[in-house]
Amino acid sequence: MEQIFSIFRDRFINDFSNTRLSKILLVLGFAVCLVDGFGQYGIMKGKIFDKSTKEPIPFANIVLEAGGKLAGGATSDFDGNYVIKPITPGTYDMKATFIGYKSVLVKGMVINADQIRFYDIEMEPTIETLE
């Protein structure tokens, strides 16, 4: 039984390796791997901080919208840093919000494939007086 298997294996490998089809399949396999390896998404990174004190704002919300539909979002960390990924290339409106601060709206942010877009956000405190 083992001898039959080894004859079949040797013959199959020899026949396959000498064919034109095997070379085509090998090239196609490499091409698929290369195309799949290229990113098709962008990344957005930045920092959110208080405009007057320059202190980071932790736990602020950042939302990307395209045509009024949510396309991505993140929450800033303890140091005010945020990362939104993966983002399909296109043009977006970005909105940053946090309690006690005015919302920040940035329209027309362009995200490209295979690129990191850096955008820092300055937020102003809301001033409300109680009567």
Q: How many CB atoms lie within 10 A of CB 111?
A: 25
Enumerate the domain spans of the chain. 2-37, 42-123
Provide the CA 27 distance to its chain's centre, in angstroms: 29
Query: Dihedral angle at the C-alpha atoms of 8, 10, 16, 17, nearest 10 degrees?
Result: 180
What is the Cα–Cα distance from 107 to 67, expressed in whole angstroms? 11
Tokens of 39: 């990113």
> What is the predicted pLDDT for the residue at 131?
65
The pLDDT of residue 7 is 65
pLDDT in tens, 65-122: 999 899 999 999 999 999 999 999 999 999 999 999 999 999 999 999 999 999 999 9
- State the fold for domain 42-123: Immunoglobulin-like (2.60.40)
Side chain identity at residue 122, one-letter code? E
Q: Nearest to residue 118, comparing CAs of 36, 42, 19, 13? A: 42
pTM, to two decimals: 0.67
Indicate if the pLDDT at residue 37 is higher than 50: no
